[in-house]
Amino acid sequence: MPNIVPRIAVDAMGGDYGLSVIVPAAVNAAKTGLPITLVGDEHMIRSELEKLDTGSCAIDIVHASQVVTMEDKPADAMRRKKDSSIQVACRLVKEGKADGVVSAGNSGATVACGMFTIGRIKGVLRPGMAGILPTEKKPMVLLDVGANVDSKPEHLFQFGLMADVLARDVLGYESPRIGLLTIGEEEGKGNSLVKTTFDMLKNSSLNFVGNIEGRDIFTGDVDVAVCDGFVGNVALKLAEGLATSFGSLLKGELKRDIVSKLGAMLAMKAFKRFSRLLDKSEYGGAPVLGLKGIVLVCHGKADSRAVERAIEMAATFVKNDAVSHLKEGLAAHKEITERDF
């Protein structure tokens, strides 16, 4: 791919905090040299931009008259809200007017728009949504984290293939170690879905290291954990909740007495470094793998920093030609991609 500067289309109307978070994040990303297209109500977007110092940022606006809410079902949003900000943003990618999409809106609708507007890579059975989590050693990929709650072994196998590309292209791992998330480390542990997937991964060219349990996710001993969307979403939300609760509990203990407060002051730098490790805004969003274009889904409660990081990650995907690498990885396993299921 030529050395281009990617243009990222940002769904300005998504997220719990709306334009007040999305627009400043887009402006900050644009200040690094990324061209940005903000998609949504043009009048509202311009009103937010007037509050900010945009300087010479390359920011365009594409008007969209509708908004997909968190209550909208994905199928209904596709049929009834064809001029929604997320559908318009995905059409920009399909038409070659943008190179990637970032949205903090309805994740189901975002995945659906990616599938039916941008389209799936040939051979991809189901796109998967990937989470990037901190560990004791370095970040790892958890796939799927919610796009598919009912999966077949072939789907999980493809998740492994696609997560392998993500770990290589974005995280920079030469030979990602892939584990299958289940209820025991021994071969044969798990339900029929896991057992069949185990055999497929074991006989593949991937660096498959076997079964892992939930406790193994954060040790840093694997670079990819493969699971269906139901298990992955529970694991992701558990991790987010634990990090938040742990921080609150620690803060309460450190304020308990004068000795604790003094110790906290002395260790403040260490606490700040630790906080950054647990910060879910570090990678910003969950990339939807398996599409013909780049789509990143942010948490609905994402702050400006998280959205900005998601935009940067989308640009990294484009620069590294991740879609082409996904196609190459899938092409090497035609026994899966060319079967009818």
Residue range 88-102, pLDDT digits in tens: 999 999 999 999 999
Residue range 225-264, pLDDT digits in tens: 999 999 998 888 887 777 677 667 667 766 777 766 666 5
Two tokens at 69? Answer: 């809410």
Tally of CB atoms within 10 A around 320: 17
Question: Under a CB-based contact definition with an 8 Å cutoff, are residues 231 and 259 in contact?
Answer: no
The confidence band for 276, taking pLDDT boundaries of 50, 70 and 90, is low
Tell whether omega for the bond before 144 is within 30 degrees of 0, i.e. cis. yes
Instruction: Tell me the pairing of strands 8-11 and 36-40.
Output: parallel
Question: Under a CB-based contact definition with an 8 Å cutoff, are residues 254 and 263 in contact?
Answer: yes
Q: What was the pLDDT predicted at 1?
A: 45
Q: Is the pLDDT score of 2 beyond 50?
A: no
Question: Under a CB-based contact definition with an 8 Å cutoff, are residues 205 and 174 in contact?
Answer: no
Average pLDDT in the chain: 86
Question: Under a CB-based contact definition with an 8 Å cutoff, are residues 80 and 112 in contact?
Answer: no
Q: Which sign does the torsion angle of CA 332, 338, 339, 340 carry?
A: positive
User: What pTM does this model have?
Assistant: 0.84
Question: Under a CB-based contact definition with an 8 Å cutoff, are residues 101 and 310 in contact?
Answer: no
The closest alpha carbon to 85, from 8, 10, 23, 11, belongs to: 11
**Which residues is 287 bridged to in the sheet?**
296
Question: Under a CB-based contact definition with an 8 Å cutoff, are residues 128 and 162 in contact?
Answer: yes
- In order of 6, 59, 267, the CA distances from 271 in angstroms are 36, 37, 6
Q: Is the pLDDT score of 269 beyond 60?
A: yes
The closest alpha carbon to 164, from 152, 151, 178, belongs to: 178
Which phi-psi region, left, alpha or beta, contains residue 33 (left: φ > 0; alpha: ψ -120 to 50)?
A: left
Residue range 150-188, pLDDT digits in tens: 899 999 999 999 999 888 877 889 899 999 999 988 888
Rg of the Cα atoms in the chain: 21
